């Protein structure tokens, strides 16, 4: 993995590039809320064929925090600038959770740069059918990034799936994670509340794969069905797990992604 720093609007933004084993189209990964690049390392290692680009969005990992909250299209412009810097004119895009909403924005605002789109445990912005209010209250508590005991106490409730019975993957993720700044985390929350992707998902041009956990307390399944109905060229697949299936069902999820992208061996 090669790490770099990119200057943008007076900030230092950290990105990472993993060189692939083939000349397949590069893959741009967008992470979940508050998550640093390190959280995605198991996914990056599993997707061996193509070059992969991941970004610590402003306020997360080792990237600077902006003075004011950004909208998703601001984050999309940053990603496009980093791709220009790396000389990647066109990519496939995979977004996880919060990063799925960003992936939608990137593919909408830069359609000429996105070949295929994968949305994993992704919300359609803030116009969505919400889960239980208690899930979001526990999720909003920033102590989960710094206090492992608190994260362990709420993980099953907010993530569902196998996390309800085993915290092994939660502990591994906590060890890899570089926590966001408090301001950076709340700015990401504000970004989500300022989006309304459902209004234009029907205009997406890319072939799209939606991956949805059957037991996802954070993003109820009806949201995946709504997005699949709106996006013209879209396939919806379910995984028998919760919100963190990309890590808890790593082999299954990455195989589905590779098959869709056409990079499986």
What residues act catalytically?
A: 97
What's the distance, CA 57 to chain centroid? 11
Q: How far, in Å, CA of 111 to CA of 120, rounded? A: 19
Q: How far apart are the first and last CA of the chain?
A: 22
Of 114, 128, 107, 99, the closest CA to residue 30 belongs to 99
Cα dihedral value 185, 186, 187, 192, nearest 10: 100
Cβ-based neighbour number of residue 198 at 10 Å: 18
Bridge partners (DSSP) listed for residue 114: 91
Using the structure block, give the residue that is written with the tokens 């919806």: 236
List phi, psi (to 5°) of 196. Answer: -145, 65
Q: What is the Cα–Cα distance from 35 to 87, expressed in whole angstroms?
A: 25
Measure the CA–CA gap between 245 and 121, rounded to whole angstroms. 8
């Amino acid at each position: 993995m090669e790490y770099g720093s990119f200057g943008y609007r007076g900030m230092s933004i950290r990105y990472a590039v993993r060189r692939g084993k083939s000349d397949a189209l590069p893959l741009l990964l967008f992470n979940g809320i508050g998550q640093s690049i390190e959280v995605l390392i198991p996914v990056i290692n599993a997707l061996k064929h193509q070059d992969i680009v991941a970004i610590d969005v402003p306020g997360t990992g080792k990237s600077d925090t902006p003075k004011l909250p950004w909208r998703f299209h601001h984050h999309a412009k940053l990603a496009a600038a980093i791709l220009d810097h790396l000389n990647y004119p066109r990519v496939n895009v995979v977004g996880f959770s919060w990063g799925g909403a960003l992936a939608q924005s990137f593919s909408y605002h830069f359609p000429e740069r996105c070949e295929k789109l994968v949305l994993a445990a992704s919300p359609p912005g803030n116009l969505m059918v919400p889960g239980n209010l208690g899930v979001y209250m526990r999720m909003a508590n920033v102590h989960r990034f710094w206090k492992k005991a608190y994260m362990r106490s709420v993980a099953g409730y907010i993530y569902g799936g196998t996390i309800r019975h085993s915290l092994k993957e939660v502990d591994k993720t906590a060890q890899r994670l570089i926590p966001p700044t408090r301001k950076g985390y709340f700015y990401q929350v504000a970004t989500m509340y300022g989006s309304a992707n459902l209004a234009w998902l029907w205009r997406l041009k890319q072939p799209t794969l939606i991956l949805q956990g059957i037991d996802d307390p954070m993003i109820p399944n009806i949201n995946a069905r709504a997005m699949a109905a709106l996006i013209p060229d879209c396939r919806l697949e379910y995984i028998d797990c919760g919100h963190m299936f990309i890590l808890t069902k790593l082999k299954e999820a990455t195989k589905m992604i590779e098959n869709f992208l056409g990079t499986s061996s």
